[in-house]
Amino acid sequence: MEKMSMSHEDYLEAIVMLGGTTEASVRSVDIATKLGVSKASVNKAVTSLKEKGLADQPYYGDITLTEEGYAYGTSVLDRHHMLFSFLTKALGIPEEQAEREACLMEHAISDESFEKWSSYIKKLDL
């Protein structure tokens, strides 16, 4: 899957975190609250996600993800959880710091590097 901007990845991740799927929708106001942005910013981002075929939203309705959008959002969230767990459990980094750094790392690491790192971590049973 082609990488997209950090911002768009954050929106997809937030939608998944809020319970959004291909079937379950989320409200734009909830996304705005989760990300600390305005509803106008959410509307702009969702329009872009719709253009990429990652989200659906009827006129002024709630937002659902396409299968591709859900898969992408879930993969970002999975990366975040694995990175956070590694930083806190394996390295002993405080949770607040690990949360910030996992968020940055989840966007920067390539799919290939993440897969290799993930395989290595699983062998360590962390």
Domains of the chain: 6-70 (1.10.10.10), 74-122 (1.10.60)
Rg for the chain, CA atoms, rounded: 15
Residue 60's pLDDT is 82
Question: What string of H, E and C letters represents the secondary structure of the chain?
Answer: CCCCCHHHHHHHHHHHHCCCCCCCCECHHHHHHHHCCCHHHHHHHHHHHHHCCCEECCCCCCEEECHHHHHHHHHHHHHHHHHHHHHHHHCCCCHHHHHHHHHHHHHHCCHHHHHHHHHHHHHHCC
In tens, the pLDDT along 79-106 reads 999 999 999 998 999 999 999 999 999 9
Mean pLDDT of 104-125: 87
Q: Which backbone phi and psi does 22 adopt, to 5 degrees?
A: -75, -20
Among 84, 99, 48, 83, smallest CA distance to 69 is for 48
pTM of the model: 0.88
**Residues 22-51: pLDDT tens digits?**
999 999 999 999 999 999 999 999 999 999
Residue 2 banded pLDDT, cuts 50, 70, 90 = low
